[in-house]
Chains A and B, each alone.
Chain A
Amino acid sequence: MNKFIMGCFVVAVLGIPTYAMAVENAAGTLTVTGTVASSISLTVETTDGTCTLCGTSAASLALGTLSKSGAAPAGFTITPASSSWTLASQNGIGVKVTKANLPASSVYTLSAKLGSAPTSGIVWTVGAITANATTIQTIGSGVAYDSTLPYAWNIVIQDSVAPTTPIDNVIQFSAVSA
């Protein structure tokens, strides 16, 4: 009788762990799609004088008040001529172009133009070109990425330009992968 009851007890106990150990599963899938776009990035790394935001794509430089016979800003020279004078940057403007997701391109072309037409009697030279506000002109071809190349920069000011005339302008660089 006792064996029989014990047997019933064992049968009952064996049923319990089977119930308690039930494990449940669920599955799902997360699909990720997108498109990688290639890009190139241009920064103005260095200038003479006191550069603001150098290392970005929007650097600026305040030269203060300039005159034919006055002192040149740091890193600049003033060269007088008979009817004009030239403000020249000694080290030029250092421009750097980097690329991403563009393995087929190893070089780029750099161009420049002015943001607005200079006052009559003022001429801007960037690299080897006389810059203007209407035509974008090439100043560097076959330039390797990731190197900071200096581009010559000077401003010729005629003596006829009225005093207190601002020479403010923007040099707009653009790089195109080649």
Chain B
Amino acid sequence: MGMKYLMKIVALALCFAVTLPLYAARRRATAPPAEMLSIEFVDVPAAGTTLIATGADAWIDLNTVSQRAGSTASVRARRQFGIRIFRTGGLSWGTATVTARVNSQDGRSSLRIDGKPVAGMPVVIDARALVGAMTIHTLEIEIPDSVAAGPLAASISWDVTTQ
């Protein structure tokens, strides 16, 4: 009886020893995490300074765009930038899916990222982006000839989800 009782206590202690750290880890993942996944937009050295503002909320200003002399094609502007996914306060490891969608737009242009048309629905830009590494992307804006001159504005929301 005494031996069985002792074994029960040992078994129960083992269960707690195994599960408590795991639940603690789960709490860390759901409660305010010390390690947080983040995305930031950065300039690509080869493309020069493209971003007026960097970080998680970045800004690209195309300045003035117009049709090239002698061209009959639509006005097109291309800009290259980098995206870096990282984990603050922890090791950067694993991969993540990067999606983008147009959050708001003036309706005067169409947008492509890495050749993929981007509109209101999320589009997978990178299915396996390495956390901790920078990836280079190309934004292409096309403005039809029929659109009147004037200001241009669009906002693209980016989401990163680990796998």
- Report which A residues bind B (CB closer than 8 A): 1, 4-5, 8-9, 11-12, 15-16, 18-19, 22-39, 41, 43, 56-57, 98-104
* Choice from B18, B19, B143 contacting A101 with Cβ under 8 Å: B143
A37 touches B71 (CB 8 A): no
Least Cβ distance of B1 to chain A in Å?
Answer: 12
Contact residues, B94-125 vs A (CB, 8 A): 96, 100, 103, 108, 111
Known contacts A34-B63, A37-B149, A101-B145; decide if A18 and B26 are in contact (CB<8 Å).
yes
B15 touches A12 (CB 8 A): yes
* Across-interface contacts of B25 in A (CB, < 8 A): 19, 22
A-B contact count (CB 8 A): 184
A34 touches B65 (CB 8 A): yes
A35 touches B152 (CB 8 A): yes
Least Cβ distance of A57 to chain B in Å?
Answer: 6
Least Cβ distance of A117 to chain B in Å?
Answer: 28
* Across-interface contacts of B96 in A (CB, < 8 A): 24
* Across-interface contacts of A36 in B (CB, < 8 A): 64-66, 75, 108, 143, 147-152
| B22 in contact (CB, < 8 A) | yes
* Across-interface contacts of B19 in A (CB, < 8 A): 11-12, 15
* Across-interface contacts of A22 in B (CB, < 8 A): 25-26, 29-30
Least Cβ distance of B57 to chain A in Å?
Answer: 5
- Report which B residues bind A (CB closer than 8 A): 4, 7-8, 11-12, 14-15, 18-19, 22-23, 25-26, 29-30, 36-41, 55-67, 69-72, 75, 77, 81, 85, 87, 96, 100, 103, 108, 111, 139, 141, 143, 145-162
Least Cβ distance of A1 to chain B in Å?
Answer: 6
* Across-interface contacts of A8 in B (CB, < 8 A): 11-12, 14-15
Closest B residue to A32 using CB positions:
B154
Which of A32, A33, A104 has the most B CB atoms < 10 Å from its CB? A32
* Across-interface contacts of B157 in A (CB, < 8 A): 27-29
CA distance A39 to B145 in the complex (A): 10
* Across-interface contacts of A15 in B (CB, < 8 A): 18-19, 22-23, 26
Known contacts A11-B15, A27-B158, A57-B70; decide if A33 and B151 are in contact (CB<8 Å).
yes
A104 touches B156 (CB 8 A): no
A32 touches B37 (CB 8 A): no
* Choice from A4, A28, A102 contacting B40 with Cβ under 8 Å: A28
